[in-house]
Structure 1
Amino acid sequence: MTTKLGAVTLLGMMTAGAAFAQDSNTLAIVVKGLDNPFFEQINLGCQQWLEENADSEYTCLYTGPASSADEAGEVQIVDDLISAGVAAIAISPSNAPAMANRVRALAPDIPVMTIDADFLAEDADLRATYLGTDNYLMGVKMAEEAMALKPEGGSVCLQLGNVAADNINARAQGFRDTAGGGDGIDRLTGENGWTEIEGCPVFTNDQADLANQQMSDVFTANPDLDAFILIGGWAQFAPQAYAQVTDQVMDKMATNELIIIAGDTLPPQTQAFRDGRSHAQIGQRPFEMGLRAPDVMIQLLNGETVEDPLFTGLDVCTQAEPGFCADN
Structure 2
Amino acid sequence: MKIASMCMAAIGGLALFASTAFADDKTLALVVKGLDNPYFDLMHQGCDRANKELKGQGFTCYYTGPATAADESAEVQIIDDLLTKGVAAMAISPSNAPAVAEVLRRRHLSIPIITADADLLPKDASLRKAYVGTDNYELGQKLAEQLKALMPKGGNICLVMGNPAAENINQRAQGTRDALGGKKGITKLNGENNWHEISACPLYSNDDAAKANQMMQDTLTANATGLDAFVLEGGWPLFAPQAYSQVVTPIMDKISSGKFVIISADTLAPEIQALKDHKVNALVGQRPEEMGYQAAMVMRDLAQGKTVKTIIHTGLDTCTWQNADTCLKH
How does the TM-score come out when normalised to structure 1? 0.95
Match of 1:119 in 2: 120
Task: Compute the displacement of 1:9 (Å).
Answer: 4.7
Identity among equivalent positions (%) equals: 51
Match of 2:308 in 1: 306
Unaligned runs of 5+ in 2: none
Task: Compute the displacement of 1:53 (Å).
Answer: 3.1
Match of 2:18 in 1: 15
> For residues 2 and 156 of structure 1, what CA distance do their matches in structure 2 show?
49
Cα contact 1:207–1:234 (8 A) shared by 2: yes
Q: Which amino acid aligns with 2:210?
A: D
Structure 1 residues 137 and 4 mapped into 2: Cα distance closer, same or farther (>3 Å)? farther
**Which of residues 287, 290, 295 in structure 2 aligns to 1:288?**
290
Q: Which amino acid aligns with 1:187?
A: K
Structure 1 residues 82 and 278 mapped into 2: Cα distance closer, same or farther (>3 Å)? same
CA offsets 1:128-166 (integer angstroms, 9 cap, x no match): 000000000000000001011111100000000000000
Q: Secondary structure at the match of 1:248?
A: helix
RMSD: 2.0
CA offsets 1:259-308 (integer angstroms, 9 cap, x no match): 00001001011000100011100000000011111110111122222112
Tell me the matched-pair count: 326
Higher mean C-alpha deviation, range 43-52 or range 115-124: 43-52
Task: Compute the displacement of 1:17 (Å).
Answer: 2.2
Match of 1:180 in 2: 181
Task: Compute the displacement of 1:52 (Å).
Answer: 3.5
Task: Compute the displacement of 1:2 (Å).
Answer: 3.2
Match of 1:109 in 2: 110
Residues 1:250 and 2:252 are matched in the alignment: yes
Structure 1 residues 274 and 8 mapped into 2: Cα distance closer, same or farther (>3 Å)? farther
Match of 1:98 in 2: 99
> For residues 4 and 41 of structure 2, what CA distance do their matches in structure 1 show?
17
Structure 1 residues 15 and 79 mapped into 2: Cα distance closer, same or farther (>3 Å)? same
Task: Compute the displacement of 1:27 (Å).
Answer: 0.2
Structure 1 residues 223 and 288 mapped into 2: Cα distance closer, same or farther (>3 Å)? same
Cα contact 2:5–2:18 (8 A) shared by 1: no
Higher mean C-alpha deviation, range 129-138 or range 44-53: 44-53
Q: Secondary structure at the match of 1:142?
A: helix
Q: Which amino acid aligns with 2:18?
A: T
CA offsets 1:109-142 (integer angstroms, 9 cap, x no match): 0000000000000000000000000000000000
CA offsets 1:207-264 (integer angstroms, 9 cap, x no match): 0000100111111111231110111000000011111111021011011110000010
Task: Compute the displacement of 1:83 (Å).
Answer: 1.0
Q: Secondary structure at the match of 1:53?
A: helix
Cα contact 1:9–1:63 (8 A) shared by 2: no
Q: Secondary structure at the match of 1:200?
A: coil
How does the TM-score come out when normalised to structure 2? 0.94
Match of 1:297 in 2: 299
Cα contact 2:3–2:27 (8 A) shared by 1: no
Cα contact 1:270–1:326 (8 A) shared by 2: no
Residues 1:37 and 2:38 are matched in the alignment: yes
